Structure 1
Amino acid sequence: MNLARKDDLKYTQNYKKQKYTYNDYLAKEGRWELLNGQFWNMAPAPYPKHQKVLFYMAKEMEKHFNCPNCEIYISPIDWKIDDENVVQPDIAIFCEEPTKQYFSKTPPLIVEVLSPSTAIKDINLKYKLYEKAGVKYYIMVEPNEEFADIFMLKNDSFEFQ
């Protein structure tokens, strides 16, 4: 997959060495994610194909989803993993009522639709973060190649399915 290039980092990451927290995140304007205490810009808006795939995935999941205690959510929705990590997965299943601003419990399933501006983050940083947080299923969809990589957590590590 050629989506993730080192050059893309300069467009998305704030290179300050300072560690930021959830309180800093709340004060930030625009759409951001906080990963390992660093801000990652969510702009520009996703490509139309990204949004089309996202909508299709959510619609198909809804058709087959049957859990009275859980709900499917589409970004933007905040999952506060801890004080230095707040993410906005493209699709997530949460089995809790959100606080006014975020979810706090680990979702059993997350879907990320890759795009040139987010691929490095989704493939590397979020993969490790979701694995460590205990997400049971992580699906990365590559819309241009029309395939998905599915990972299942086994013994605290993701395994390709």
Structure 2
Amino acid sequence: MGVLKLEEIETYTYDDYVKWKDRWELIDGYPYMMAPMPMIKHQRVSNKIARQLDVIFEDCTKCQVLLPIDWKISNDTVVQPDNSVICHKPLNEAYITKAPRIIFEVLSKSTAKKDMGIKFNLYEKEGVLYYIIVDPDELIAKVYRLKDGKYIKICDATDEVVEFDLKECKEIKKFDFSKIW
């Protein structure tokens, strides 16, 4: 039995994706099964991120906080960030098509490699201004900011307060990482 070459693996489109059961992401036509449901620790951290984002963005009339939602980047790429902030009005309620300004991905054993590799490169290419990779086991969040088309690490946050400077908001938004653990 030979090894399959990448070009021999079947690829899919958004039309295929919407018919699938369970939780999937589609990147460059290749399906990635997501964990059935995130573990309790993952959900707890993600909920705390969402609550804090909700509070710090409640007065911004241009931005809104989202829990996992389809981000349809192209006909063959659809991802679901754990937590995101968009600063535009979506074209419809089913999915977003424009890059979020901030994305938080909470790592789990089954998604860590994809979140730190494939999605890191995808979010960088698509122009996500801030990408935060949260490790609930190690109690650390790696915070990246897009500069000249490349992610630059701002810090490894555990109990730091990090400022998100978004041109859409009148004031700089301060996120306290000590509150998510």
Pairwise TM-score range, normalised by the shorter structure: 0.7 to 0.9
Larger Cα-atom Rg: 2
Amino acid aligned to 2:71: W
CA distance in 1, matches of 2:132, 2:15: 29
CA contact (8 A) 1:96 1:105 kept: no
1:27-106 equivalences in 2 (<5 Å) = 27-65=19-57, 66-75=59-68, 77-94=69-86, 95-106=88-99
1:55-92, Cα deviation, whole Å (9 max, x unpaired): 011111222224211110111x1000111110000001
Distance apart, 1:98 and its partner CA: 4.6
Select the structure with the greater relative contact order (CA < 8 A; seq sep ≥ 6).
1
CA contact (8 A) 2:73 2:98 kept: yes
| Percent of pairs with identical residues | 42
CA contact (8 A) 1:33 1:41 kept: yes
Amino acid aligned to 2:99: T
Distance apart, 1:25 and its partner CA: 0.6
Q: Do structure 1's residue 137 and structure 2's residue 130 form an aligned pair?
A: yes
Which residue is 1:124 aligned to? 117
Which residue is 1:159 aligned to? 152
1:80-126, Cα deviation, whole Å (9 max, x unpaired): 01111100000011222351321011110100000001001100000
Q: Which runs of 5+ in 1 are unaligned?
A: 1-15
CA distance in 1, matches of 2:53, 2:97: 22
Which residue is 2:104 aligned to? 111
TM-score normalised according to structure 2 size: 0.77
CA distance in 1, matches of 2:111, 2:52: 23
Paired residue for 1:22, among 10, 14, 18?
14
Instruction: Decide which structure has greater strand share.
Output: 2
Amino acid aligned to 1:132: K
Count of paired positions: 146
Q: Which runs of 5+ in 2 are unaligned?
A: 1-7, 155-181
Moved more, 61-70 or 78-87: 61-70
